[in-house]
């Protein structure tokens, strides 16, 4: 009996698949559509093969490895509800894959563009800005400065929770030394950064927060031009307008943040206690500790550990990976299943592991 030959169409599909330089999957993830492209590579939607939950994967060529390694080294130590979680890092011969939390709400930039602007001191404006400030404050408490804060680097979940991303320019501030690298986007850059002075990282981040707040509630950047040199000039001369539709309290907080002298700017605690946030008790949450509690200390974590033990999973190994910020397959499964346990799964087709 002769063997059945595959139809030409199947053979052609197989040849196309084997010849393609584009992977359809990596590790435990199946790729979906492209979400965006940046300087170093692209970001693709993907689904975890076991849980079905959606993730975003940042794909970078290894020629950019030195910059990416710094980003990973910072990002893997950051665990905050308003910072996108880095789940896992994978490598192939030519690429690095950073698997991160997927935020279906898209960029805060697009959110503002679709609405024109957010109403002054509206619940949405206060909610979004508070979460951004709290995330940046946490980074500073962890001795990191972001240095590339902008609306394009702030993602939103479908229920309007903020997730800060892109830690490529983030640096440690564990030593008292001033920084001197110009980085980030010119429209959000602090005066001391664009003038080439050595600068205090947290003060530069605070300036960027002021630009973000202005853009959220005005619908346009305070310092903007087609020519970068003109933007520099406007920033150095503090040339921006405060529209009549802004309340006095909004004008006050913006003017106290956008100070040429970094030492004159209000601090993050000052921002959070400013009257602009008054009556904002619903959006205020206790700050996460820089010394996190032991895993299993919350009801969701305890429940997940118990279910994993019932299934015979290597709980000790998984927890060791999470505690060590290993960003491997074990820590990824922990974060994805914990997301499900908390009732906030991102799933592409409803497939979940039965835990």
Say if strands 54-61 and 144-145 run parallel, antiparallel, or are unpaired: unpaired
Instruction: Give the closest residue to 345 by CA, choosing from 101, 49, 128, 166.
Output: 101
Active-site hit among 13, 124, 148, 328 = 148
Q: State whether the Cα torsion 26-28-33-36 is positive or negative.
A: negative
Angle between helices 329-341 and 315-323 (to 10 degrees): 100
Task: Enter the DSSP assignment of 154.
Answer: E
Is residue 103 within 8 A of residue 339, CB to CB? The reply is no
Count of Cβ atoms closer than 10 Å to residue 12 Cβ: 11
| 335: three-class secondary structure by DSSP | helix
Q: Alpha-carbon distance 252 to 241, whole Å?
A: 13
Q: Look up 226 and say whether it is catalytic.
A: no
Q: Distance between CA 80 and CA 163 in Å, rounded?
A: 9
Is 8 labelled a binding residue?
no
- Write down the H helix ranges in 147-236: 191-194, 201-218, 228-236
Q: What is the secondary structure of 21-45 as a DSSP string? A: SS-SEETTEEEEEEEEE-SSEEEEE
Helix (H) or strand (E) holding 225: none
Residue position matching structure tokens 């499964």: 333
Which of these, 268, 264, 215, 266, lies nearest to 240 by C-alpha position? 215
- Give the number of other Cβ atoms within 10 Å of residue 299's Cβ: 10
> Measured between alpha carbons, how far is residue 313 from residues 133, 252, 342 in Å?
38, 55, 20
Using DSSP's 3-state secondary structure scheme, residue 182 falls into coil
Per the annotation, binding residues are: 58
Active-site residue set: 148
Per the annotation, binding residues for ATP are: 58
């Amino acid at each position: 009996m002769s063997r059945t030959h595959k139809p030409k169409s199947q053979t052609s599909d197989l040849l196309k698949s084997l010849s393609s330089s584009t992977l359809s999957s990596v590790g435990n993830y199946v790729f979906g559509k492209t979400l965006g492209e940046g300087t170093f590579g692209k970001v693709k939607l993907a689904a975890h093969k076991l849980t079905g939950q959606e993730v975003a994967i940042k794909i970078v060529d290894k020629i950019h490895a030195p910059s990416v390694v710094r980003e990973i080294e910072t990002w893997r130590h950051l665990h905050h509800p308003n910072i996108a979680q880095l789940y896992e890092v994978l490598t192939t011969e030519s690429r690095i894959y950073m698997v991160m939390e997927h935020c279906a709400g898209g960029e805060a930039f697009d959110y503002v563009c679709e609405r024109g602007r957010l109403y002054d001191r509206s619940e949405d404006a206060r909610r979004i800005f508070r979460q951004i400030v709290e995330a940046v404050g946490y980074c500073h408490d962890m001795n990191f400065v972001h240095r590339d804060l902008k609306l394009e680097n702030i993602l939103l979940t479908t229920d309007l929770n903020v997730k800060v991303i892109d830690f490529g320019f983030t640096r440690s501030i564990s030593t008292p030394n001033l920084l001197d690298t110009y980085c980030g986007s010119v429209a959000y850059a602090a005066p001391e950064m664009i003038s080439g002075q050595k600068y205090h990282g947290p003060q530069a981040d605070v300036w960027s927060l002021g630009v973000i707040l202005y853009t959220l509630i005005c619908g346009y950047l305070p310092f903007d031009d087609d020519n970068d040199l003109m933007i520099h000039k406007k920033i150095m001369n503090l040339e921006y307008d405060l529209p009549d539709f802004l309340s006095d309290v909004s004008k006050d907080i913006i003017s106290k943040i956008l100070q040429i002298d970094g030492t004159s700017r209000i601090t993050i605690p000052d921002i959070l206690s400013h009257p602009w946030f008054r009556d904002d008790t619903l959006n205020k949450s206790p700050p996460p500790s820089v010394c996190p509690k032991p895993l299993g200390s919350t009801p969701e974590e305890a429940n997940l550990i118990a279910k994993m033990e019932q299934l015979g999973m290597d709980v000790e190994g998984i927890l060791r990976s999470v505690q060590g910020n290993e960003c491997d397959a074990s820590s990824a499964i922990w974060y994805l299943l914990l997301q499900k346990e908390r009732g906030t799964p991102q799933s592409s087709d409803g497939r979940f592991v039965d835990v």
